[in-house]
Amino acid sequence: MRKKFYPKVAMKFPAVVTSDEGISLKVTGLEISTEGLTIQCSTAERNLITPGGCFIHNGRPLELDLRIDFARSANQVNLVVARCHVNFSRRITKNTCQIGLVFLEISDENHGKIKQMIEASSIASAA
């Protein structure tokens, strides 16, 4: 059984996911860990990413490109890019869905940025 070593941190952030077909959508990140994240989108957007909620394609989990901007101010860009696979897709309400993404390919630098954001969020919530 696989154990998680890093906690998920609830925080909202803007993200963009891009499918292999070139469909790019602006979504909202809801929580993140060093292993992956959960995004929220409309049902219509979910159907563009994972048609009907199906996230298996040719016997494998669907893969997406991800771009997150953890901007700390209007002048500072803290961009994270990664390749992810879809871990789950669930409908929350009639018009809202959540999609779980697991990092497949992410640079050490981008992984470090995520760790920093998790640590900063943990410190802020403890204060």
pLDDT tens-digit map of 52-80:
778 887 788 899 999 998 775 455 567 89
Amino acid at 109: E
For strand 9-19 and strand 24-32, is the pairing parallel, antiparallel, or unpaired? antiparallel
Determine the average pLDDT of the residues in 3-18: 81
pLDDT tens-digit map of 90-117:
999 999 999 999 999 999 999 998 988 8
Output the pLDDT for position 56: 80
Cα 126 from Cα 96, distance rounded (Å): 30
Q: What is the pTM of this model?
A: 0.86
Show Cβ contacts of residue 64 under 8 Å, excluding neighbours closer than 6 positions.
17, 18, 19, 20, 49, 83, 84, 85, 86, 101
Helix (H) or strand (E) holding 88: strand 79-91
Output the pLDDT for position 124: 65
CATH 2.40.10.220 fits 9-126, yes or no: yes
